[in-house]
Structure formats: C-alpha cells, structure tokens
Amino acid sequence: MEHQESRNPLLLAAKTEALMSWSELIRLDRGTDDEVDPNATAAANDMDTLSLARGEQTTASRIKFDLDLPSASADDLPLGPGRKTPEWNWRRRVLQPDHCALQCSVARPGTPYVPPQALRATARRVRRRLEVLRAAPRWQGGQTLGDEFDIDAWVRFQTEARSGVQHSDSPPVYIRRQRGERSLATLLLADLSLSTDAYATSNARVIDVIRDALYVFGEALSGTGDAFEMLGFSSVRRQHVRIQHIKGFGERWNDTVRSRVGALKPGFYTRMGAALRDATRRLGARPERQRLLLVLTDGKPNDLDIYEGRYGLEDTRHAVQEARDAGLTPFCVTIDHEAHEYLPMLFGSQGYALVRRPQDLVQRLTQAWVTLAR
C-alpha cells in the first residue's frame, strides 16, 4: 500500500526557551478592559516582566481630553470687557486680524502672602545689588572733555573730516563717568500654563519656582525706582487667552501685589503669540527710552487647536519680531532643557537664557535684567 503524505504535517521544534517566555509580552489594553480579573494579581506575581501593548484600535476610537474653564464663582475676577488681537498664519502668510480673544483678570483677594525666610533674605540681597548698580555712575560718550580717550569716536571723527565734514575745534572724542537719570521700563510676562504644575525639583513645582522668581524680582526692582509691570498668561484655544494681572506700571509694589504673586496657580495652555502681542501693546505705550520685555517660560508654545508644532512657533516668532519693530527688547528665560531646539528660531541665538537648574532661576533672571539694562 502506497504511503500518502499528510497535507498539514505537525512539526514541533524543540524550543523550550520560547515556551517559557510567555510572560515577556501580554497584550493588555486597560482603556477597553473594564472588568476586573480576580486572577490578575496572582498572574502578575508569577511573571518576571509585565509588558503592555496597544490593542488593535482605530484612530477614530481615540479620546482627546479637554480642560474645562472654572465656574465664575471660582474663577479670577475679570478686568474690563476683554479685547481682540491678531495671529500669524504661516501657511497663508497673513496676519489674521482679531483672531484671538484676550481677557485680563486678577486673582480674588485671599490670605496675605508670607514668603519663607530664606527667600526674603535672597530678595534683600538682590535688591541691594540692583540699588548699587542703579546709583553707580555710567560712561557717557561723545564728550569734548572727559576721563578717557574714545578711540572709536576719534576714528569716526578723522574719517568724517577727510570726507569734507566740518567739525568744531573741540571734537567729541572723550568719555567720562557721570551720574544720570535712567529711562527704563520692564514688563515681565510669566508662563502659567498647566505644565507648571509639574515638579521641577524633589520638593518644588515649576509654579513655585516661578512664584519665587517673581517675588524676588519685584522686591529688587521696587528698590531701583524703574517702572515695571508683571503679567501671567495661559489659554484654552484662541477664544480664551487669559492674561493674569499681577502688577501694573501705575501700581506700587505692596502687600496687595505680593498676595497676587502668592495666589498664582497653574492655568491651561501656552498661546504665547497672543500674550506677547498684548505685552507689546502695553509696553509700547510707555514713554521710557529703553523698554525690556522679559518672558519667563518652561516650554514651547502650544494649545488645543491648530496652535501646535510649527504653527505656534511661527506665530510666536512673528510676535517677537513685532516687539522688536516697536522698539522693544524681548528676551526669554526658560527652564526647558529642550529650549535650544526652538528658542533660537523665536528669540535669536542671543535672545534667551537657559536655566539648567530650576533653583537658579532667580539668579539668571536678575542677571539677564542687569545685562540688558546697562
């Protein structure tokens, strides 16, 4: 009788190690598994490694979470009816007018803010430093008589003289140190997005580090006599850009302002372009000759709608350029370790400072202000 070969022969290879590796991959999807398995704990204890893999779900079944705005009774107090601001659409290469709605608000009166003793000591030390720098005489160029000879002015004078430009017998080629009134206004714009609720150190959140920096900065600048304003910002899409009023140019640094600093809390998302345009409008109305726009942030621009990726970056870059065109000096201080990937595009290679350790934020912020205010 002729032997007929089986159509589907069974072949069992000797792979004992494969039979014992069933615990290396368990396809679990806790998003759809609502029933509690009573044997799950025992099974997990018997495994060497528990790995999770995504289920075979379609894109349409994904859920996108949103943040709800707080009720009117629990929210901050609105200041005024709000206003509109444009936004740059890089795809269409057009500035869309009245595209974003801004609402300025102030924290409800609460308990007085009492900073720790160590933070108060830091504030006093930084304040004394800025007071000394404020009172120190500065070099003034273009003098006919002075303490030192200005070589650059001399070269410029000789070049103009040889080209036929008539000068007086006493050329302004000297510099001298003299005291003078400084004309300076500073606006500090702080990112209060939801990411600031994360821990920056083992015992402090990002919002705590920002709060400490604002307190020290306010205490220090109040001793210089220079005008300054403090704002915070966050957003929930383009129709809800929230500007947190902390201190205005016309307000004194007092217990009321300090309590607003103490009441700061994480907000929503980071529509930075709209906040920068509002800050530019406020600071651009100041009469001072030198106007600094300092931005304090912990991440890149983002929001729930299309304000992600390149769209948010391009709009922020355009807003920074608008600030420069208005005669302002924008500068960003960040604690985001990935800032070198996008901040040079937004503020330029010399327009930002990266803080490696969050506890150094106060020092770097003060240092940036001292450098720019010279």
Which carries the bigger pLDDT value, residue 23 or residue 245?
245
CB < 8 Å & 24+ apart, contacts of 87-92? 87/238, 87/273, 87/274, 87/315, 88/273, 88/314, 88/315, 88/318, 88/319, 89/311, 89/315, 90/310, 90/311, 90/314, 90/315, 90/318, 91/311
Cβ(155)–Cβ(195) below 8 Å: no
Handedness of CA 212, 216, 222, 225 (dihedral sign): negative
Instruction: List, for residues 239-297, the tens digit of each pLDDT value.
Output: 999 999 999 999 999 999 999 999 999 999 999 999 999 999 999 999 999 999 999 99
pLDDT level of residue 66 (50, 70, 90 thresholds): low
Q: What is the mean pLDDT of residues 62-78?
A: 68
Highest CATH level, class, for 77-133+183-372: alpha beta
What is residue 44's predicted lDDT score, i.e. its pLDDT? 65
Give yes or no for residue 19 having a pLDDT over 90: no
Give yes or no for residue 40 having a pLDDT over 80: no
- Residue ranges of domains in the chain: 21-61, 77-133+183-372, 138-178
Q: What is the mean pLDDT of residues 224-248?
A: 95
Instruction: List, for residues 143-171, the tens digit of each pLDDT value.
Output: 666 667 677 777 777 787 777 766 666 67
Cβ(237)–Cβ(302) below 8 Å: no
* From 80-94, 179-193, 201-215, the region with the lowest mean pLDDT: 179-193
The rounded percent of the chain whose pLDDT value lies above 70 is 74
Give yes or no for residue 339 having a pLDDT over 70: yes
From the CB of residue 263, how many other CB atoms can be counted at a distance below 10 Å? 18
* From 4-18, 27-41, 174-188, the region with the lowest mean pLDDT: 4-18
Give yes or no for residue 181 having a pLDDT over 70: no
Q: What is the mean pLDDT of residues 14-26?
A: 50
Give yes or no for residue 102 having a pLDDT over 70: yes
- In Å, how far are 185, 252, 257 from 225, measured between CA atoms? 10, 10, 16
Instruction: List, for residues 43-61, the tens digit of each pLDDT value.
Output: 666 665 555 556 555 555 5
What is residue 9's predicted lDDT score, i.e. its pLDDT? 56
Q: What is the mean pLDDT of residues 168-176?
A: 70
What average pLDDT is seen over the chain? 83
By three-state DSSP, how is residue 279 classified?
helix
Cβ(300)–Cβ(308) below 8 Å: no
Which carries the bigger pLDDT value, residue 179 or residue 118?
118
Rounded to whole angstroms, the Cα distance separating 186 from 189 reads 10
- In Å, how far are 61, 72, 103, 242, 270 from 107, measured between CA atoms? 39, 12, 13, 12, 19
- In Å, how far are 309, 310, 317, 327, 334 from 342, measured between CA atoms? 10, 10, 10, 23, 12
What is residue 49's predicted lDDT score, i.e. its pLDDT? 58
One-letter amino acid at 57 equals Q
What is residue 157's predicted lDDT score, i.e. its pLDDT? 75
pLDDT level of residue 4 (50, 70, 90 thresholds): low
Q: What is the mean pLDDT of residues 188-212?
A: 92
Rounded to whole angstroms, the Cα distance separating 148 from 175 reads 5
Cβ(291)–Cβ(280) below 8 Å: no
Q: Is beta strand 241-247 parallel, antiparallel or unpaired with respect to 94-106? A: parallel
What is residue 41's predicted lDDT score, i.e. its pLDDT? 74
Which carries the bigger pLDDT value, residue 24 or residue 373?
373
Query: Alpha helix locations (H) across the chain?
Result: 16-19, 40-46, 117-135, 151-162, 206-222, 255-262, 272-284, 309-325, 343-347, 361-372
What is residue 200's predicted lDDT score, i.e. its pLDDT? 87
